[in-house]
Each structure stands twice: as structure tokens, then as C-alpha cells.
């Protein structure tokens, strides 16, 4: 079993000959034994710089100013989420982080908006506090959705289905971009708090184009993904995107591709805070997640019953404390 994260070239897959494409597909599928892969990208570095600059301005605001961007009943799917709210399903205490969340809407009256209002809520941006942030973060979101859709085409071929299998699934998906500020651990309250406790993401795949400090760690499968496996640092080459797999892809592939378990812990060699921007690529919530026929055979019987993607997301939002339990939803 592969115990290292491989570096692949997305552009070689798209521009190369059959041999080059095959090599990238093979590299991606072997690397995903860890739940992670690094890939080159063509995202605008200027756009990434602008996004981090605007987000730095936002997180430097006072608590009162940041709370103006809290979106009640959105369950963390847009707007601001404060410190010590999100709690990993495997943890007893909340993560030491605060977040700004955003996505893309659908037109008023669209059936997706009627059926899944909190997944397609009006987007909340701190435009009054940080002028220009709405356009920058919207452009970032659109660019990263396009990049992740391209990565899914490689995975589709690796699974033995058509290259465009996931395209329509994610076209109006409830994908979520999230800026996460992890304050210095020296400021954390008493308790077993870490920046982000061990977890697997709910979605299809997740992309992280850049972070301001180390801290992301990957759990290898020698422990079965149950909290007992060994941990390695995820250290991509400069100019690469970190991609990891989520629980929805795990279900679709009948566990042929497992979710990439990970955590974020402060690196003692890099004291201080950490800022990262990630995107969770989701299918449209009315997608029925059912194991692919190419991933089911006599040796690998179907493990999962079909489940609606929107219901699976809501179950996880409940588990991680983003849907309030018996009371008003908390901003912080």
C-alpha cells in the first residue's frame, strides 16, 4: 500500500498524449491510497494573493465587526463562524479556529434553493468592512470549482467510468469555500483543543491551494482510518494544490477510494497563527450517492445503501455541531 503522497501534473493529463495521461491517472489513483495527492495547477497567483490579503484584513477585525457577517440558520454554509464552534465528530472539544464561508447561489425560485435553503442561502460577505472582498472571493470560488472538476475527470477514468461522469453532478453543487484562521495555540483556552481534530471531509474532494504555515497532517491507513494510524506532514511542492478525498467519494466508490483522514496541529517550529483557504467540492444535494458498478464485484460486495447527498451533508453538519442542538445556532 502506498504510504506517501505523490505529486502529479494536471496539465500533463490535459495536454499530453495517451501515455502521459495514463501516467497521471495511475499516479493519482496510487496516491489516493493515502486519501491525498498533490497536483500542479494554473490558478492565478495574483488571485490567490488578493484573496489572502482581503481575508487577512477580515480576520484582523474586532470580534464585533466579524460577527456582523454571521448568517443565522445557514449552519456554517455561508458567513462567519467563530472560535470553538465546529467540533470534529471524533473529538470531545471544539476546534481552535474561526472561519469565513462562502459559495455560489442559484436563482431565486430554483428548486434546489426551495428544497435545500441553507445549502443555497444568500451569500454573506463582509463587504462593508473589507471593500472588494466579494468580487475577489467569488472569483476564487469559481476558479477552484473549475480546477477541482478537472481533477475529478482524472479520478473518473481511474474508476473506469466516463471522464465526464462527475461534471453534471457538481455543476450546481453546493460547493463551499472556507477561509480558516487558526490562532496561536498559546491563546487557546484550557483543554485538549487543537487547530482541527482528526476527521474526514464529507464531500467528494477538497482542494487547498495555499496555507501560511505548516500544520496539515495525513493519517495513513496502517491504522484503518480509525484514529490509530500513523501521521505524516502534508508538504506539497511550491505552487501545488493539495487535494484530498471525502466521504461522499468513499461511498460512490464502495470504499475503493477512502476518505483522506487528516488533522491540523500547530507546528512547534512555526509558532503563531495559520491561515488557509480550502474548498469542499459537493455534488448537487439531490444526487443519489450509490456505489459505481465498476467498484462492486464478488470480492467487493456493495457496502453502502444509496443516500441523497443533501441528507448526508446535513447528518455531518449535525455531528460537527454546525446545526444547533436544542437551541439557537451559535456564532461563536
User: Does an H or E element contain 157, and which?
Assistant: helix 133-158
Residues 6+ apart with CB under 8 A from 61: 126, 129, 130
Which pLDDT does position 317 carry in this prediction?
85
Tell me the percentage of the chain whose pLDDT exceeds 90: 80
Q: How confident is the model at residue 142 (pLDDT cuts 50, 70, 90)?
A: very high
Structural domains in the chain, CATH included, are 7-319 (2.60.120.330)
- Name the phi and psi angles at 185, rounded to 5: -65, -20
Q: What is the pTM of this model?
A: 0.93
**Does 149 score more than 50 pLDDT?**
yes
41/279 Cα distance (integer angstroms)? 15
Q: How confident is the model at residue 225 (pLDDT cuts 50, 70, 90)?
A: very low
317/323 Cα distance (integer angstroms)? 6
User: Does an H or E element contain 313, and which?
Assistant: helix 309-319
Q: Which of 104, 124, 101, 100 is nearest to 113 (CA)?
A: 104
Residues 6+ apart with CB under 8 A from 330: 82, 85, 324
What is each CA distance from 187 to 56, 161, 180, 273, 332, in whole angstroms? Answer: 18, 49, 16, 10, 16
Strand, helix or coil for residue 158: helix
Strand-strand pairing, 36-40 and 7-8? parallel
Strand, helix or coil for residue 229: coil
Contact 133, 54 (CB under 8 A): yes
**Does 221 score more than 80 pLDDT?**
no
Which pLDDT does position 316 carry in this prediction?
87
Which pLDDT does position 327 carry in this prediction?
47
Where would I find the beta strands (DSSP E) of 41-195?
Answer: 79-81, 98-102, 176-182
Tell me the percentage of the chain whose pLDDT exceeds 70: 95
Q: How confident is the model at residue 329 (pLDDT cuts 50, 70, 90)?
A: low
Which pLDDT does position 330 carry in this prediction?
57
- pLDDT tens for 24-78 read 999 999 999 999 999 999 999 999 999 999 999 999 999 999 999 999 888 888 9
Max mean pLDDT among 87-91, 119-123, 179-183 falls in 179-183
User: Does an H or E element contain 149, and which?
Assistant: helix 133-158
Q: Which residues of 125-161 are buried (b: 16+ CB within 10 A; e: fewer)?
A: bbeeebeebbebbbebbebbbebbbbbbbbbbbbbeb
**Does 326 score more than 80 pLDDT?**
no
Amino acid at each position: 500500500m502506498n504510504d506517501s503522497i505523490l505529486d502529479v501534473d494536471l496539465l500533463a493529463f490535459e495536454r499530453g498524449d495517451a501515455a502521459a495521461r495514463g501516467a497521471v491517472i495511475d499516479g493519482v489513483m496510487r496516491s489516493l491510497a493515502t486519501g491525498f495527492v498533490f497536483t500542479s495547477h494554473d490558478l492565478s497567483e495574483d488571485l490567490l494573493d488578493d484573496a489572502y490579503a482581503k481575508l487577512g484584513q477580515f480576520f484582523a477585525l474586532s470580534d464585533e465587526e466579524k460577527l456582523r457577517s454571521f448568517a443565522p440558520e445557514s449552519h456554517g454554509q455561508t458567513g462567519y463562524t467563530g472560535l470553538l464552534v465546529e467540533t470534529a465528530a471524533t473529538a470531545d472539544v471544539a476546534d481552535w479556529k474561526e472561519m469565513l464561508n462562502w459559495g455560489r447561489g442559484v436563482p431565486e425560485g430554483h428548486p434546489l434553493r426551495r428544497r435545500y435553503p441553507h445549502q443555497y442561502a444568500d451569500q454573506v460577505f463582509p463587504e462593508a468592512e473589507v471593500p472588494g472582498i466579494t468580487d475577489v472571493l467569488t472569483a476564487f470560488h469559481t476558479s477552484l470549482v473549475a480546477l477541482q472538476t478537472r481533477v475529478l475527470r482524472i479520478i473518473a477514468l481511474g474508476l473506469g467510468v466516463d471522464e465526464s461522469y462527475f461534471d453534471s453532478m457538481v455543476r450546481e453543487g453546493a460547493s463551499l469555500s472556507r477561509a480558516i484562521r487558526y490562532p496561536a495555540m498559546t491563546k487557546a483556552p484550557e483543554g485538549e483543543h487543537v487547530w482541527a481534530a482528526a476527521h474526514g471531509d464529507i464531500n467528494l474532494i477538497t482542494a487547498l491551494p495555499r496555507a501560511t504555515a505548516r500544520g496539515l497532517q495525513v493519517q495513513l491507513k496502517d491504522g484503518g482510518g480509525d484514529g490509530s494510524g500513523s501521521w505524516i506532514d502534508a508538504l506539497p511542492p511550491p505552487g501545488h494544490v493539495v487535494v484530498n478525498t471525502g466521504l461522499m467519494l468513499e461511498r460512490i466508490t464502495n470504499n475503493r477510494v477512502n476518505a483522506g483522514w487528516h488533522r491540523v496541529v500547530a507546528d512547534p517550529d512555526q509558532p503563531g497563527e495559520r491561515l488557509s483557504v480550502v474548498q469542499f467540492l459537493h455534488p448537487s444535494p439531490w444526487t443519489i450517492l450509490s456505489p459505481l458498478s465498476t467498484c462492486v464485484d464478488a470480492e467487493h460486495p456493495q457496502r453502502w445503501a444509496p443516500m441523497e447527498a443533501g441528507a448526508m451533508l446535513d447528518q455531518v453538519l449535525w455531528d460537527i455541531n454546525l446545526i444547533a442542538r436544542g437551541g439557537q445556532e451559535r456564532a461563536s
